[in-house]
Chains A and B, each alone.
Chain A
Amino acid sequence: MSLLAVTDLSIDYAQLGGATRAVTSASFSMGTGSSIGLVGESGSGKTTLALSLLGLLPANGRVASGEIHYADESVSQYSETQWRRLRWTKAALVFQGGMNALNPVRRIVDQIVEPMLVHGTETTKQAATQRAIELLARVGIPASRARDFPHEYSGGMRQRAGIAMALACKPQLLIADEPATAIDVVVQAQIIRLLAELRESLGLALLIITHDLGVVAQLCDDVIVMYASEIVESASVRGIFHNPKHPYTKQLLESVPRFSGLRGVGAGISGQPPSLTNPPTGCRFHPRCPSVFSPCATEHPPASRLAEKHVVACHLYGHD
């Protein structure tokens, strides 16, 4: 049985002049200790998808259709109280590095202790504080810094503290949204190593949201590529890097110098990112696709399974 299963999930944002569909018919599942990278350019719906997994969509967002299951429990009819019990105990969030994810006026240790007491992970303040300090030590922050305020930490330390905080209620799944963005490369590498090590030692499952394919290569088993709210390709890391099928995935890889073998700046993807309020017809990538052909502008490409783990939604495949 999988830890998390998302089936045909669609999410809308209500806006003046109609709804924007930020996630369209997404399906994937995660097993215990698995690690998936969710990649795609800005605005493709990655954060929206992540927030929906914890029932944290903004006020104007709503799940339009589809299902989310944790183990065999569906969350579709969850009340706010049920969501609250699920949050941080089944899945916890790690926000973008160095950002404002920690409350500036509260001490780090108190921010880690708080969810333990609220969820009853620890029953006494002392025990919770003790464990908070252990968690900080585990991510490489000495006990002497536990009572600091966030502004006294460097960006990398804040990111580590965010990870320690996410571990407070012993979740099985860590959802990390851009965990290595906005911090310098050396620290970035340390954070990635830390996540890999935690995954190993705690058997954590990781859902890593990122623009950075390098992070995916180091941390993940599988990759999901999103484009304009849709999953266009999913495969193992090997499959994506060595045998990419979707023209968008290929361009994404070419845009990263270390994978394309090009020196200097990567090729980049030409053309404008699509609008979600008024998405292109047929295949959403067709205005930017170098391989575009007759059915692309009018027919939506169906998903075809090329290998056990390799699924792609493109007219180039699956029409035997």
Chain B
Amino acid sequence: MTTASRISSRIGQTVLTLFIVVTFNFWLFRLLPGNFTQLLSRAGALDPAAVASLKQSFGLDKSPVEQYVLYIKNLVTFNWGTSYVSHQPVFQMVFQALVNTIVLITVAYILTVIIGVALGVFAGRRAGRLADSVTVTTSLALWSVPTFWLGLVLVFIFSVWFVGLPVSGMTTYAATYSTPFDQVVDIGLHLILPTITLVISSIAQYTLIMRNSLVTVLDEDYVTTARAKGLSSRRVLWRHAVPNALLPTFTLTWLNIGIFLSTTLQVEVVFSWPGLGSLIFQSVNQRDYPVLEVSFLTIAVVVIAANLLNDLLYPLLDPRIARR
């Protein structure tokens, strides 16, 4: 298969997946408990005329198929409705939250992968020795710590014992900044604790996968060849072993974005980070269905996009896939 046809068929698959997710999302929210108009009015009983007019304005008087078509149409035209609670456009709310989540997840995920891989290399080249066992055991121990609890412990420590690092929000409340740089610094400070929480609780997988993959690769004939050529052990490791050992880790990195995202959403709640997690948490409490619906869809799209990116980028690392 040529590269172009491989890419286009992969994108075709992605569009199909998206379509299925959207459809599922449509029916899911039609089946959830709660009377739509009651929820909307936030009142017990409404007079029938008001109910009818509300139903009409949301298209609820139409058949399910018509509603579905309307739903798709609204979706692709970014006409995503308004929040039951704040009466702001859902698009605006979810978009802002998504941006904030992306800030946190990008910083935390890059650090998790880099530190995880580095620890994996550290342990893998010392396989069977004490440093290896200590790294592996510690990673596993940290992995089994509940993220939520770890976050709360950090909040406690930094609000009681080491006051100074912000434990809540994305910026200092009501702060005014003299330069944009000050604002970046402020956000950076707020990022520290949620990032530490995420890195600690997610790093183990990357360390373990990288370690095991490196141990396997170090046994391969081409590593012996590299050593036999008289290359320095550093060169053998970084030029020959690590690039091969990275391949499984690379796939894991993309496939795990969904899991990492769900952890991030929890951590956001603990640290009141104004992202999708906090938005969903708040919307669930208030049964703000339009916001929830779009938030879930957004998460699904992020995960699907990550899978697509993995498939499109992997060939750049592994020539065996590239030219097939």
| A102 and B222 in contact, given A118-B235, A151-B319, A152-B323 (Cβ under 8 angstroms) | yes
Interface size class of A (residues with CB under 8 A): 20 to 34
Shortest distance between the CB of A201 and any CB in chain B (Å): 23
Query: Which of B99-107, B226-234, B253-261, B288-296 forms part of the interface with chain A?
Result: B226-234
User: Does A84 lie within 8 Å of B323, measured CB to CB?
Assistant: no
| A104 and B227 in contact, given A95-B221, A99-B221, A118-B235 (Cβ under 8 angstroms) | no
User: Does B230 lie within 8 Å of A104, measured CB to CB?
Assistant: no
User: Does A151 lie within 8 Å of B231, measured CB to CB?
Assistant: no
User: Does B228 lie within 8 Å of A103, measured CB to CB?
Assistant: no
Query: Which of A85, A88, A104 is close to B228, meaning CB atoms less than 8 Å apart?
Result: A88
In the complex, chain A residues whose CB is within 8 Å of the CB of B287: none
Query: Does A254 sit at the interface, judged by CB under 8 A?
Result: no
Query: Which of A86, A95, A105, A152 is close to B225, meaning CB atoms less than 8 Å apart?
Result: A95
Query: Does B284 sit at the interface, judged by CB under 8 A?
Result: no
Query: Which of B221, B230, B317 is close to A105, meaning CB atoms less than 8 Å apart?
Result: B317
User: Does A103 lie within 8 Å of B240, measured CB to CB?
Assistant: yes
Query: Does B286 sit at the interface, judged by CB under 8 A?
Result: no
Q: How many A-B residue pairs have CB under 8 A?
A: 80
Shortest distance between the CB of A193 and any CB in chain B (Å): 23
Instruction: Tell me, in angstroms, the Cα distance from A54 to B323 when the chains sit together.
Output: 36
Query: Which of B222, B229, B323 is close to A115, meaning CB atoms less than 8 Å apart?
Result: B229
| Beyond A104-B222, A114-B229, A114-B231, 19 additional pairs, beta carbon < 8 A | A87-B227, A87-B228, A88-B230, A92-B228, A93-B225, A95-B224, A100-B221, A100-B222, A102-B225, A103-B222, A103-B225, A104-B318, A105-B244, A105-B317, A106-B243, A114-B239, A115-B229, A149-B323, A152-B323
Identify the A interface with B (CB < 8 A): 54, 56, 80, 83-89, 92-93, 95-96, 99-106, 114-115, 118-119, 149, 151-152, 162, 165, 168-169
Question: What are some 28 contacts across the A-B interface (CB < 8 A)?
Answer: A56-B227, A80-B233, A84-B231, A84-B232, A85-B230, A87-B228, A87-B229, A87-B230, A88-B228, A92-B229, A93-B224, A93-B225, A95-B221, A96-B221, A100-B220, A100-B221, A101-B221, A101-B224, A101-B225, A102-B222, A102-B225, A103-B225, A105-B244, A105-B317, A106-B240, A115-B229, A149-B319, A152-B323
